[in-house]
Amino acid sequence: MMSLNRRVLLSTSFVLLIFIAGMTFTLDRAFYDSARIGVEDHLFAKLLLLMGDTEVEEFGELRVLPNQQDVEFELADSHTYAFITDATGAIVWQTTSSLNKHIPILTLLDQGEKIFEQIQLNRKPHFIYRYSVVWEAPAGSYPLAFNVVTDTTLLDAQIKHYRRDLWGWLGVLAVLLLIAQLLVLRWGLRPLRKVSVELAAIESGQQENLKGNYPRELKVLTDSINSLITHEHKQQKRYRNGLADLAHSLKTPLAILQGALHDQDKAISARHQTIQEQIERMDNVVQYQLRRAATAGSSPGMSLIQLAPMVDRIVRTVASAYRVKQPEVTVAVERKLYLRIDEGDLMELLGNLIDNAFKWCRHRIQIAASYQGDQVLIKVEDDGPGIPSHEIARILERGARADQSTSGHGIGLAVVRDIMQVYEGELLLENCAKQGLCVTLCFNQRFLG
């Protein structure tokens, strides 16, 4: 695929060429129109001079005085000539420069009518300015038409010279603009090249994340990349810690199993009981570490999840498993409450808390969730026996392993604690004033919808 630098360069060069071509056409057309107006003014000025030198004698005889200042009419090879016609269109006077020129056959003009137009004479373009007047003389009124004609030789030469200069200067301007465009493009794409260099350094292990100071347009991208890298590092660290914890947690039950197999002094039933206990303990440890490793954690682009439907669905699922109890369940979750969290992690959190509440409650369960300032609080409360205070302190301790989980609550609360640590949230456990346990999950502003 074509590089971004080449794409931008080609597209901007194409736009530049179109702009220069359009500007050239516009300037050329404007110059031609201006030159044409100049020809019109030039011919009109000569026509006025001719009218100033014209006289009608007493008996209607036309006489044109020689104009020493206008030599164009006196030269045989001049590009400009003039003639005067009467009411019938017959030529009554013409300049010396018109003797070897073709006189066009023209239509008659109305009194006072002026016309400037382009005509073809001998298959060559010419401009003509015509003006019809009625000359008042002592002997009467005489309609006359003054006509001044010039070919386009001078105009064509002027336009040719202008176009040569125009294309030359525009060519130089285009080269300068392309050079400036290359420099600006190189300067503008420097942050992207810097990102590419830093990503290559990250890939080669020379640095851990993007450290440069980037423009606002790239800040979202670089922050997202850094978040992905951080999320990946945390995930890898959780996997390594999980494997280390799993190995450490399995050492003791494996040693006990090995001792039980070689202990011939104990009865077979006692050894079977020991083996069964350690198998269950190992199963809990493995389940805990697997569920802990499956925690997705926060990552960029994570979608928002509406909390109320998720709570309702989990309550219905868990209630079907505890049909015998049928406790009174009160759900008070704001319908507009959203969390930016992985759906699997949220189901793991709520599933464990609601399952424990159903397991240990006597008659009543309360589930509530609401905004509290810049936090979301999710509370699950039951009227069961609760947890001893010293056990609460241990379950909330960071780094507590599955084989140290609270008696009776299995690995559920340990998994909840670890998931909340991943999401930088807080798990609160407290015994109710009367009876039962109240579990509170606190999510900070970063995970709010």
pLDDT at 401: 44
Q: H or E element: which one contains 147?
A: strand 140-151
Say if residues 107 and 130 touch (Cβ distance below 8 Å). Answer: no
- How many Cα neighbours within 13 Å face the side chain of 349? 31
Buried (b) or exposed (e) across 106-120, using 16+ Cβ within 10 A?
eeebeeeeeebeeee
Top-level class of domain 304-447:
alpha beta
| pLDDT score for 290 | 67
Question: Which candidate, 326, 303, 298, 323, places its Cα nearest to that of 444?
Answer: 298
Write the DSSP assignment of 25-78 as a string of letters: HHHHHHHHHHHHHHHHHHHHHHHHHHHHTEEE-TTS-EEE---SS--GGG-TT-
With 0-12 / 13-18 / 19 or more C-beta atoms within 10 angstroms meaning exposed / middle / buried, residue 126 is: buried
Dump pLDDT digits (tens) for 99-132: 878 888 888 888 889 999 999 888 889 999 999 9
Is 82:147 a contact under the CB 8 Å cutoff? yes
Q: Which residues of the chain are under the pLDDT cut of 70?
A: 1-2, 58-60, 67-69, 238, 241-242, 244-246, 248-249, 251-252, 255-256, 262-266, 281, 284-285, 287-301, 396-411, 446-449
Contact 139, 159 (CB under 8 A): no
Q: What is the pLDDT of residue 295?
A: 60
Dist CA 245 CA 251 (whole Å): 10
Instruction: Report helix, strand or coil for 304.
Output: strand
The pLDDT of residue 146: 93
pLDDT for position 406: 46
What's residue 417's pLDDT?
84
Domain range list for the chain: 4-158, 216-293, 304-447
pLDDT tens digits for range 363-407: 999 999 998 888 899 999 999 888 888 777 777 664 444 444 444
Element (H, E) at 442: strand 437-443
Report whether CATH 1.10.3470 matches the domain 4-158. no
Residue with tokens 């009411």: 87
**Count of CB atoms situated within 10 Å of the CB of 306:** 15
Q: Is the dihedral of CA 402, 407, 409, 414 positive or negative?
A: negative
CA distance 297 to 344: 10
